[in-house]
Amino acid sequence: MKIVTTIADLRRLTGDDVGFVPTMGAFHEGHLQLMRTARNNHESVVVSLFVNPTQFGKNEDFSRYPRNLTADAEMAEAQGVDIMFAPEVAEMYADSPTSIHVPEVSDRWEGAHRPGHFDGVATVVAKLFHIVRPHTAYFGRKDLQQCLVIRKMVRDLNIPVILSFEPTIRTENGLALSSRNAYLSPEERAIAPKIFETLTGIAERVTRESLTTEEMDRILSDGRIYLERSGFVPDYLEWVDFSTMAPLRNASEPGAIIFAGRLGTTRLIDNVILRSEFAF
């Protein structure tokens, strides 16, 4: 595997059939699974490792975000990745850079709780698409709203790339793998699986019973209270339409139960997709 830090070097090395996995590093099985899927489908695999400053808010964890290039490079190489693109911030951004805003789907949930976050994501992903020129780019469904923002951007701007959204990889007890799980204390780690327990509990009721709007409001509010009592500070727990992320109360539409909240100083997000056969 080659590690390159400049756009010019990357350009010299990439071919036509590139599978691309954009990441911020601190690899876990979620990242590695995306790399293996790309490896199975393409002549060459490019992984980018860039902790993108523009998608972090002022009081967020940009400076303490876990960084370990050596361990990450070893893990990526073991999955058969050909090239790791790991630019410095100065290689990616000039002064007063142009920014992309994807309307509507960016504005709710993560967008509301992390103002500017999706502009940072959309802009860096668009730049990476132009730099890497992949055939297909692979993303994880754990960041569901991010998938939908990128999908809309690619459609609206006619970016010539195929998108593949892959299932969330979890620990045995259901906790979605995340680089931020490294911040959790042992006590918090024992509590964190309650997110998935709550989401799947709600998802089962939504699919099994024909619930009224009032019953659904109640189930979501009970879920929120349960998580609060377990130690979380929820930002949201909602049932949303799969394409627009607008609140949903009709089980025949493709939807998802979404959660974000803090456990101690760590912010965690997760979702369970309903009727996933229609989802992407």
- Residues of this chain that bind ligand AMP (CB under 6 A): 23-24, 30-31, 34, 139-140, 142-143, 166, 168-169, 176-179
Residue given tokens 């964190």 in the structure block: 192
- Identify which of residues 120 and 219 has a Cβ nearer to ligand AMP in the complex: 120
- Identify which of residues 100 and 251 has a Cβ nearer to ligand AMP in the complex: 100
C-beta separation of 66 from 179 below 8 A = yes
- Identify which of residues 171 and 249 has a Cβ nearer to ligand AMP in the complex: 171
Tell me the closest approach of the beta carbon of residue 126 to ligand AMP, in angstroms.
15
Nearest residue to ligand AMP by CB is 140
Tell me the closest approach of the beta carbon of residue 219 to ligand AMP, in angstroms.
25
Q: Would residue 31 show up in a list of annotated catalytic residues for this protein?
A: yes
Among 31, 42, 117, 135, the one annotated catalytic? 31
Tell me the closest approach of the beta carbon of residue 212 to ligand AMP, in angstroms.
34
Q: State how far the Cα of 273 lies from the Cα of 200, in Å rounded to an integer.
A: 9
CB atoms within 10 A of CB 229: 9
Tell me the closest approach of the beta carbon of residue 177 to ligand AMP, in angstroms.
4
- Identify which of residues 31 and 117 has a Cβ nearer to ligand AMP in the complex: 31
Residue 208 structure tokens: 């099994």
Q: State how far the Cα of 156 lies from the Cα of 103, in Å rounded to an integer.
A: 10
Residue 252 structure tokens: 């025949």
Q: State how far the Cα of 254 lies from the Cα of 252, in Å rounded to an integer.
A: 7
Residue 269, strand partner residues: 260
- Angular region, 80: left φ>0, alpha ψ -120 to 50, beta rest: left
Active site residues: 31
